[in-house]
Amino acid sequence: MQWKTIDFYALDAEDKLKEFRSQFHLPRNPDGTEKVYLTGNSLGLQPIKAKQYLLEELDDWANLGVDGHTHARRPWMHYHELFTAELAYLTGAEPNEVVAMNTLTANLHLLMASFYRPTKFRYKILCEAKAFPSDYYALDSHARFHGYTDAVLEIPADKHTGILKHETILEYIDKYADEATLLLMGGVNYYTGQVFDMEEITTFARERGYTVGWDLAHAVGNIPLKLHEWGVDFAAWCSYKYLNGGPGAVAGIFVHQRHHNRLLPRFEGWWGHCKDTRFQMPHNFQPIPTAEAWQLSNPPIFSLTPLLASLPMFRQAGWEALRNKSRKLTTLLARGIEEINDTHSSGIRILTPYSNEHSGCQVSVVFEGIGRQVFDRLTEAGIVTDWRHPDVIRMAPVPLYNSFSDIQKTLETIESAVIEQQK
């Protein structure tokens, strides 16, 4: 590839999505120049329109008080419904299968209350090795709540690459089919950036009697999803990463239609009760026959509002263009780093299997022995990346707001940091 021969500015000039960058606030260096922001996998950037929408909600609250529930320009009573169509687009769901609510870990617990149905013989839960710690805590504590102390089984990663082989995942699903009842994995692993074949894994596990749930924190807004078609039982995600909803933004859930009218155990709240009779305040809970039945409380307006600015951008850009640009950015970054390693034999290894069609934005890189120094040099140069002890740097070029010149600057900085360390 020879990254030094590539005209990154020409790539920017012909980039069909370049206008979207101006719809975000880019963090700035002390001299006023824009930083290179490669941590959209951790916290997405603020859409410019978010502030205006938030101010409008504050105005409506100031001017209308309680009447804002029904008479705000976007009435608060049904506010969460404003996000349904876009969330369905992003997750490949039917509109009645998704709802924006709560936060990710809280949602995982609520969904497990319905979908983790252990029996004496089949009570184990399969998840991936190196699952995000919060997921592990949620799974383990939920199993303990049911009285099982040894329920969580981790599907091991390859010792050398840290990546889970697809065959190993299927092998474990098959092997534990008599003991495990739930498979719950991250659709994209937070650490390695590995994207799992959710379609095949879901089908394979469901054929063996598992209930299948996905944590889509690192998947939603990063890769296209088809949750309905894949037959996924349930899923949950957060909105502050690729969805640019802001710190602690409201999360979302998916519940497949086939579960909507089942008699499932559920932790209930008044916002899950049928809308027609909710305000008659009856004792008997009558669930809304959609994913909304899992809601507990009335929607947190200020935490939802920034998503009004962000979510429509995905449909405007379109998945095809987003994926095209994302693949180009990520491949240029990963290949460029590999070339730097080849030229300087500097113990750099790309963890993320970035070249297969399932890969997403993120590239996780091991910088053996020099990780901290490279990270510090990137930070000094105004390049925002994510450090993971002991020697991993995670970088995620995001097609909505990263440019090809961002990649060039990052590669130049990494190369000069590597050369510096070899002096």
Ligand X SMILES: Cc1ncc(COP(=O)(O)O)c(C=O)c1O
Binding residues: 104-105, 132-135, 215, 218, 240, 270, 298
Give dist(CA 167, CA 201) in Å, integer.
10
- Residue 214 or 354: the one with the smaller Cβ distance to ligand X is 214
215 is an interface residue for ligand X by CB under 6 A: yes
Give me the least distance between CB of 108 and ligand X, in Å please.
8
- Residue 239 or 346: the one with the smaller Cβ distance to ligand X is 239
The residues in 223-252 that bind ligand X, with binding defined as CB under 6 A, are: 238
Q: Which of 20, 176, 190, 254 binds ligand X (CB under 6 A)?
A: 190
What is the H or E stretch that residue 394 is in?
strand 392-395
105 is an interface residue for ligand X by CB under 6 A: yes
The residues in 148-187 that bind ligand X, with binding defined as CB under 6 A, are: 186
Q: Is the distance from CB of 340 to CB of 415 less than 8 angstroms?
A: yes
Q: How many residues bind ligand X (CB under 6 A)?
A: 12
Q: Of 186, 1, 230, give the one whose Cα is nearest residue 94.
A: 230
**Residues annotated in a binding site for pyridoxal 5'-phosphate:** 104-105, 132-135, 215, 218, 240, 270, 298
Q: Is the distance from CB of 393 to CB of 319 less than 8 angstroms?
A: no
Residue 268: DSSP 8-state: -
- Residue 104 or 253: the one with the smaller Cβ distance to ligand X is 104
Q: Is the distance from CB of 83 to CB of 100 less than 8 angstroms?
A: yes
The CB-side HSE value for 371 (13 A sphere, CA atoms) comes to: 19
The CB-side HSE value for 281 (13 A sphere, CA atoms) comes to: 0
* Strands 124-128, 348-350: pairing kind: unpaired
Give me the least distance between CB of 218 and ligand X, in Å please.
6
Q: Is the distance from CB of 53 to CB of 305 less than 8 angstroms?
A: yes
Give me the least distance between CB of 371 and ligand X, in Å please.
21
Q: Which of 23, 96, 134, 324 binds ligand X (CB under 6 A)?
A: 134
- Residue 205 or 250: the one with the smaller Cβ distance to ligand X is 250
Give dist(CA 191, CA 352) in Å, integer.
9
132 is an interface residue for ligand X by CB under 6 A: yes
217 is an interface residue for ligand X by CB under 6 A: yes
Residue 105: DSSP 8-state: H
Please tell me whether residue 319 adopts helix, strand or coil conformation.
helix
Q: Could you tell me which stretch among 132-140, 277-285, 369-377, 387-395 binds ligand X (CB under 6 A)?
A: 132-140
Q: Could you tell me which stretch among 4-12, 61-69, 81-89, 215-223 binds ligand X (CB under 6 A)?
A: 215-223
195 is an interface residue for ligand X by CB under 6 A: no
Give me the least distance between CB of 145 and ligand X, in Å please.
18
> Quick one: tokens of 210?
């598992």
Give me the least distance between CB of 160 and ligand X, in Å please.
24
Q: Which of 124, 130, 218, 377 binds ligand X (CB under 6 A)?
A: 218
128 is an interface residue for ligand X by CB under 6 A: no
* Angle (deg, nearest 10), helices 49-64 and 306-317: 140
- Residue 190 or 401: the one with the smaller Cβ distance to ligand X is 190
The residues in 75-104 that bind ligand X, with binding defined as CB under 6 A, are: 103-104
Give dist(CA 162, CA 44) in Å, integer.
26
- Residue 3 or 115: the one with the smaller Cβ distance to ligand X is 115
Q: Could you tell me which stretch among 66-74, 127-135, 167-175, 408-416 binds ligand X (CB under 6 A)?
A: 127-135
Query: Beta partners for 367?
Result: 348
324 is an interface residue for ligand X by CB under 6 A: no
2: amino acid identity, one letter: Q
Q: Could you tell me which stretch among 48-56, 210-218, 226-234, 374-382 binds ligand X (CB under 6 A)?
A: 210-218
Give dist(CA 115, CA 113) in Å, integer.
6
Q: Is the distance from CB of 127 to CB of 185 less than 8 angstroms?
A: yes
40: amino acid identity, one letter: G
Give dist(CA 300, CA 423) in Å, integer.
54
Binding site for ligand X (CB under 6 A): 103-105, 132, 134-135, 186, 190, 215, 217-218, 238
